[in-house]
Amino acid sequence: MNLYLRYFDREVLVTNVDDAISFLADIDEIGMNPMLEHDIREYAASDVYYPKRYKIRPRIYFIIIKTEAATMQDFKEKKAVHTPVSSIEKDAASPVLVKLNEEKPGWYEGVIDFKRVQQVPGTGKFQYRDTRFAAQCKAMSGQDCYNRIIDHLRQRVDPRSQFPSAKGKNFKFTYLGGFK
């Protein structure tokens, strides 16, 4: 695993953490110290692959990125991008999406938590309030249940109210059974 470091227009691709620390120590503004060195060594040894940003002073940072690239050219052309998820897992749909879009006509119970705009008595001002709404409806799938609940609510609450995504944690549904 190689490390790419950049501070303004100064950049380097190194093969080990000692070279990275040496590069940073040569830049006076960074002010290399034992705590920063320890943190960089921990980042390099960890399984974390997201870029790490270190604050030098307000709005001034240097970054470190782990990469599989062997040369700076490969890094710039993104030839060695680390992909922690295998291609088989990437192609498979999320279990939440599969369950949500599964066609199963019948009765559903949907529960949605949303931000409802309501007027505060006495002041005349408006505020968002967390609101839970539950309904039972006939639907073809979990997504259809969500759409029916949202359509119902849009006709009855302030248009500034905010509704969550069907894929998120603020919408839950249960299949109750088929049509009779």
> Between β-strands 106-119 and 126-139, what pairing exists: parallel, antiparallel or unpaired?
antiparallel
Confidence label for 172 from pLDDT (cuts 50, 70 and 90): very high
Residue-wise pLDDT for 2-21, tens only, equals 898 999 999 999 999 999 99
Long-range contacts of 152-156 (CB under 8 A, 24+ apart): 153/112, 153/114
Mean pLDDT of 34-50: 90
pLDDT digits (tens, 9 = 90+) for 81-126: 655 554 445 445 567 778 888 899 999 999 999 999 999 998 989 9
% of the chain at pLDDT higher than 70: 91
Cβ atoms of 166 and 143 within 8 Å: the answer is yes
pLDDT at residue 87, as a whole number: 46
Residue 32 vs residues 5, 29, 35, 37, 78: alpha-carbon distances, Å: 14, 9, 8, 7, 29
Rounded CA separation 35/177 (Å):
60
Phi-psi region of 109 (alpha: psi -120 to 50; beta: other; left: phi over 0): beta
Q: Please count the CA atoms within 13 angstroms of the CA of 14 that sit on its side-chain side.
A: 17
**Whole-model pTM above 0.85?**
no
Could you give the C-alpha distances from 105 to 160, 166, 174, in angstroms and in order?
32, 18, 12
Per-residue pLDDT, 85:
53
